[in-house]
Structure 1
């Protein structure tokens, strides 16, 4: 992989993993169009290599702004799309608002699919092109407290697999890479407390970003990051009842942290 030859669109660039991805790719000489909602973070990232990085503040869920991204990507002759944008809400499903669920589906699934679809004609013009989707261990393991989030990440995993097979006779490679728990601002205090209570491993964004880049360099297809998460994903596929029983033992702790704090005096 000659990163200096790549022209990459990174969504979610102002988030934890996205920000670290941009930093590492800048060090490798890649040309980038970086998209996110936090304009100041994007400006700081673009300053790492002003001649090679263009910042485009935008909301992926807004059709007009998505069209601006597609136009900019076409002008930059993008040959790699890294879908790193996403949002997560930790909490019991029956306590989550319809608006929170809708916004999660809109960004994690709908906007990601529509942006990818819009960029396909551009990517198909290249001799070698890539679509990289950042998923989650919760795209293979349904976990209490993350019901809506799991739904979106299962969808992204299925989308990646189906699209890979649909594009098997084209120059486009589709990679799906699943981090485990990662220390980003998406995590609420309650989610952080649950990870501590359960003794879950939590990776730093820089570690995840480096693993994503290695996955791309090795032409990974569907890679789960972290141990024992790799084992749990396999167990959940072959022996889901075993995982059911293990999570049921943890359910009181999960419910304790996931339940919305009472506002009564």
Structure 2
């Protein structure tokens, strides 16, 4: 879809990737409904863009907690009111560390926010989207949704699930007006992760992309309509190899195991 024709609902709009994606979409000509949990941050974000670029007629915002059913219903009504034809599921929460050090309620929150919430929001929006001539659902996942990495067992579970959901839904809706897409960024340099993750990445030689790099790839995916795309090398190669013979990679993560901290402070969400 051409950005000029896109009326985008973007969840997780106040996070690092979310802000960069919103900016890239606005520059490309799309209209936006920004979704986040903080009304103050959303209002400030929109105000800055309106003052600097005169985009008042192309950007709106809606406060919502995607784990609340009433808020999902509110977003469905807003999608109808604004004639949304693109949904970018970007909201999420991080999880890092040894499984035994993670609290049960935190595990539940990660799985609910990263997996169940986008599934339920999609379900709420899908009937209207299927009535449009053309629509797109784009899920922002992770390479960790295709490669299980030490220290990311909970996060990987949520993103493996999201990848599987997007893949199955794509095949379910094939031939209709709704195109389903998935993008798997590698580690990205934002405030999403705890500083311990940056230390871990440095110790294991893990490269990071900028939020702008990810945002440009999201815009490109929206335009070219590809089913899915993974970012970075050797990550893209590892995704393919892990899909074919996953046990071949089991011995490749000694440094990752050795550099896992004993405990990590609780996560935040966007």
Q: Under TM normalisation by the shorter chain, which class is it?
A: over 0.9
For structure 2, the residue ranges without an aligned partner over 5 or more in a row are 50-54, 265-270
Counterpart residue number, 1:99: 105
SS at match of 2:253: helix
1:78-118, CA deviations, whole angstroms, 9 ceiling, x for partnerless residues?
A: 10100000111111111100111011111101111000010
Query: For the residues of structure 2 that align with 1:250 and 1:145, how far apart are their CA atoms?
Result: 8
Contact preservation (8 Å) 2:183, 2:228: yes
- CA apart distance, 1:41: 2.8
Aligned CA distance change for structure 1 residues 44 and 4 (closer, same or farther; 3 Å): farther
SS at match of 1:74: helix
State whether structure 2 residue 266 is matched by structure 1 residue 260.
no
The correspondence for 1:79, drawn from 80, 85, 88, is 85
1:56-94, CA deviations, whole angstroms, 9 ceiling, x for partnerless residues?
A: 111111111111111111111110100000111111111
Contact preservation (8 Å) 2:139, 2:166: yes
Counterpart residue number, 1:41: 41
SS at match of 2:91: coil
Q: Aligned-residue CA RMSD in angstroms?
A: 1.3
Q: Could you tell me the TM-score, scaled by structure 2's length?
A: 0.92
SS at match of 1:51: helix
State whether structure 2 residue 189 is matched by structure 1 residue 183.
yes
State whether structure 2 residue 71 is matched by structure 1 residue 65.
yes
Contact preservation (8 Å) 1:95, 1:260: yes
State whether structure 2 residue 131 is matched by structure 1 residue 125.
yes
SS at match of 2:67: coil
Contact preservation (8 Å) 1:77, 1:122: no
State whether structure 2 residue 148 is matched by structure 1 residue 142.
yes
Contact preservation (8 Å) 1:21, 1:210: yes
Q: How does 1:1-265 map to 2 (within 5 A)?
A: 1-47=1-47, 48=49, 49-248=55-254, 250-253=256-259, 255=260, 257=261, 259-260=262-263
Contact preservation (8 Å) 1:236, 1:243: yes
Aligned CA distance change for structure 1 residues 110 and 250 (closer, same or farther; 3 Å): closer
Q: Number of aligned residue pairs: give it.
A: 258
- CA apart distance, 1:39: 2.2
- CA apart distance, 1:169: 2.1
Q: Could you tell me the TM-score, scaled by structure 1's length?
A: 0.94
For structure 1, the residue ranges without an aligned partner over 5 or more in a row are none
Higher RCO (C-alpha 8 Å, min separation 6):
2
Contact preservation (8 Å) 1:3, 1:30: yes
Query: For the residues of structure 1 that align with 2:178 and 2:89, how far apart are their CA atoms?
Result: 15
- CA apart distance, 1:222: 1.6
Query: For the residues of structure 1 that align with 2:77 and 2:196, how far apart are their CA atoms?
Result: 40
Query: For the residues of structure 1 that align with 2:178 and 2:112, how far apart are their CA atoms?
Result: 25
Contact preservation (8 Å) 1:23, 1:45: no
| Runs of 4+ residues deviating >3 angstroms | none
